[in-house]
Structure 1
Amino acid sequence: MLDESSSPAPSAAELPAIPPDRRDTLTRILLGLRLDGVEYGRCLVRAPWSLRFPAQRDAHFHFVASGGAWLRLPGSAWVRLEPGDAVLLPRGSAHELASAPDLPATDIAALARVPVSEQVYLVRDGTPDDGDAPADLLFCGSMRFNLDPLHPLMALMPDLMRAGELALRDPGVPALLDAMEREVALDRIGSCGILARLADVLAASIIRAWVECACGDATGWLAAVHCPNIGKVLAAIHGEPERDWSVPALAELMGASRSRFAEAFTKTVGESPARYVAKVKMFQARHWIAQEGMRVAVAASRLGYDSEASFSRAFKRVIGQPPSAVRG
């Protein structure tokens, strides 16, 4: 699925305003979203070049500092990226970046790397500087979400998100792009580290702008987030997954009877409140166990399970494998 950011976009004045109560819900949902940079590379390549980026669990991020590039996802058309463009591939989809379409591709791992710091490295393609062909400069990275890959927000994201027209929703995006361009141009001491931090913030801003832009024709989970009544329930569940969210407690939060709440929630979200709460708890548990190394017994206790065995059964029912299989 490709985010159609290349199509003509409305002006900022034409974009629908988000009511304050829905903004609050979005804020609470997004407060739980974090992106941490895993590694970044300042890539210097000379045309003709083509790089293959394999699929990975972490998100891919690219910022085109100079020269421009073409990007293609498997089965999709080539997309032109101009200097100053930034893209995020939230699910780490396989793709190619090239100076021109349809060139033979080299795996990015085959290029020489020179470490700059713990997270940042320089990448060169090994071609000599002949003085005639200026090098294309890219800043590429991998980012890790704190959300489970099966989280509804992750599942709804397009494979490719471009900063371009999303900037109309978030005025901070152009400022971040400008700051990255200046940092690349100056090439001062520590610039790669600063670029890495700017990339983290820019990627989060792209996602926030995408969520807000989707408010006009949202369906399914996004529609539920934007619903004043169901949205605050979802925000509460995601904000405190450890809490014992019973149907009566959630109905009280919405200000409705149990039957009316259960019917409205199931109709809007597409599954029962109990099932949804169980999924959110197990998504949180998988993150704790796989990413933070938490012991299964500790995760079970934090989520309110009486025994590790009952927790493991619930985990396998939702995730499809036992907790021990996801560690590391």
Structure 2
Amino acid sequence: MLDDSSEELAAPDSPDLLTQILVGLRLDGLEYGRCELHAPWAVAFPAQRFARFHFVARGGAWLRTATTDWKRLNPGDAVLLPRGSFHVLASAPEVPAVDIHTLSRVAVSDNIYLVGGPPNAAAAAPSDDGPLPDVMFCGTLRFNLDPLHPLVAMMPEVMHAGDLAQRDPTVPALLEAMEREVSLQRIGACGIMARMADVLAASIIRAWVECGCNDPTGWIAAVRCPRIGKVIAAIHANPEHDWTVPELARLMGASRSSFAEAFTRTLGETPAKYVAKVKMFQARRWITHDGMRIAVAAHRLGYDSEASFSRAFKRIVGHAPSVGRGGAGGIPTSQRPSLPEGRELR
């Protein structure tokens, strides 16, 4: 039977799940760097759990990922890699790349650095001795959504601000403001740019959801459906609840068989598998960000033992829950991409 508390979780008067997520979407800037690089240059960014952001302040760059070909970025362009995929930025495609962590950097504040230049690079006057360096503003950002969240999983590998600028007036306005901030070279520019980057990244995602994600099937279509969306909202609102198929079917107002068929057809996975995934990305957030003990997370999510929880976590996430406490954004060493043996990064 469906109890009263479950009815409250999916109250028809509450905002739909997609609206709730977009309203509450937040990206926290973990680290930023103002990079001054003299051509020829090429920098490789290893895969990480957190998102990466790049803004071309001066000059230009070429971008390539493990699955896409080179794409030109011009001054004023910005890109967001929501899942922190491996990628390369270069002054030209043929330049061999070095790892970003091998570049020199000088701290400006707790999480802002000047990369590839002298300590006074941000305020130095242009030199007449040669061409000006290319200037990039790069950042690492953390979603308040787990990487397992369906919305994050649906995002393209690279989100280009220019592709969305014509559809959302907020995006070009922010890009213009960032260009002005860089060109003026005022005191505190790096800190202001960091705040702008947070807002721009969130705006890019919102514009993609509202304008650029036109797939009529899948998760976004499901949460926009009044009946299935009500079920998904209830699952996300209370991942600790021991959801059953009959209970979810009653929320939708359908028989068990018709509910299961409609849910699986729309989302491409069974209700049980979806509930398990939601539980696991809630568990990973508790363990990674809140420092919760694995045994406590297992108990809160209704598992009989820490061992059974750990097996489920590894099956869905791909690694043991204890790995999320480590560095490299929680990506195990075995899962970090590397170059094929004997090949140069180009």
Q: Which residue of 1 aligns with 2:105?
A: 113
How far apart are 1:180 and its partner, in Å?
1.5
Q: Which residue of 2 aligns with 1:16?
A: none
How far apart, CA to CA, are the structure 2 residues paired with 1:325 and 1:105? 29
Q: Give TM-score scaled by structure 1 length.
A: 0.83
How far apart, CA to CA, are the structure 2 residues paired with 1:81 and 1:111? 21
- Counterpart AA for 1:169: R
How far apart, CA to CA, are the structure 1 residues paired with 2:285 and 2:154? 19
String of CA shifts for 1:211-265, please: whole Å, max 9, x gaps: 2234433433333233332223223322332334333443343233333222211
How far apart, CA to CA, are the structure 2 residues paired with 1:316 and 1:55? 20
How far apart, CA to CA, are the structure 2 residues paired with 1:93 and 1:317? 22
Q: In structure 1, list runs of 5 or more residues that go unmatched.
A: 1-20
> How is 1:141-220 mapped onto 2 (pairs within 5 angstroms)?
141-220=139-218
How far apart are 1:53 and its partner, in Å?
1.9
How far apart, CA to CA, are the structure 2 residues paired with 1:40 and 1:195? 9
Structure 2 CA distance for partners of 1:318 and 1:191, relative to 1, 3 Å? same
Structure 2 CA distance for partners of 1:242 and 1:33, relative to 1, 3 Å? farther
| 2:289 match: secondary structure | helix
How far apart are 1:308 and its partner, in Å?
3.8
How far apart, CA to CA, are the structure 2 residues paired with 1:215 and 1:108? 32
| 1:109 match: secondary structure | helix
User: Aligned pair 1:137/2:129, yes or no?
Assistant: no
How far apart are 1:282 and its partner, in Å?
1.0
Q: Which residue of 2 aligns with 1:4?
A: none
How far apart, CA to CA, are the structure 2 residues paired with 1:47 and 1:280? 46
How far apart, CA to CA, are the structure 2 residues paired with 1:318 and 1:192? 39
| 1:48 match: secondary structure | coil
Q: Which residue of 2 aligns with 1:15?
A: none
How far apart, CA to CA, are the structure 2 residues paired with 1:231 and 1:153? 14
Which of 77, 83, 91 aligns to 1:85? It is 77
Kindly report structure 1 stretches of 4+ aligned residues shifted beyond 6 Å. Answer: none
How far apart, CA to CA, are the structure 2 residues paired with 1:109 and 1:215? 34
How far apart are 1:320 and its partner, in Å?
4.5
How far apart, CA to CA, are the structure 2 residues paired with 1:133 and 1:320? 47
- Counterpart AA for 1:138: M
Structure 2 CA distance for partners of 1:61 and 1:294, relative to 1, 3 Å? same
How far apart, CA to CA, are the structure 1 residues paired with 2:50 and 2:72? 23
Q: Which residue of 1 aligns with 2:277?
A: 279
Q: In structure 2, list runs of 5 or more residues that go unmatched.
A: 1-12, 327-346
How far apart are 1:321 and its partner, in Å?
4.3
Structure 2 CA distance for partners of 1:317 and 1:75, relative to 1, 3 Å? closer
How far apart, CA to CA, are the structure 2 residues paired with 1:47 and 1:145? 33
How far apart, CA to CA, are the structure 1 residues paired with 2:314 and 2:65? 33
How far apart, CA to CA, are the structure 2 residues paired with 1:54 and 1:151? 22
How far apart, CA to CA, are the structure 2 residues paired with 1:182 and 1:73? 29
How far apart, CA to CA, are the structure 1 residues paired with 2:182 and 2:251? 49
Identity percentage of aligned residues: 70
Q: How many residues align?
A: 307
String of CA shifts for 1:23-46, please: whole Å, max 9, x gaps: 944212335643221210011122
How far apart, CA to CA, are the structure 1 residues paired with 2:91 and 2:26? 32
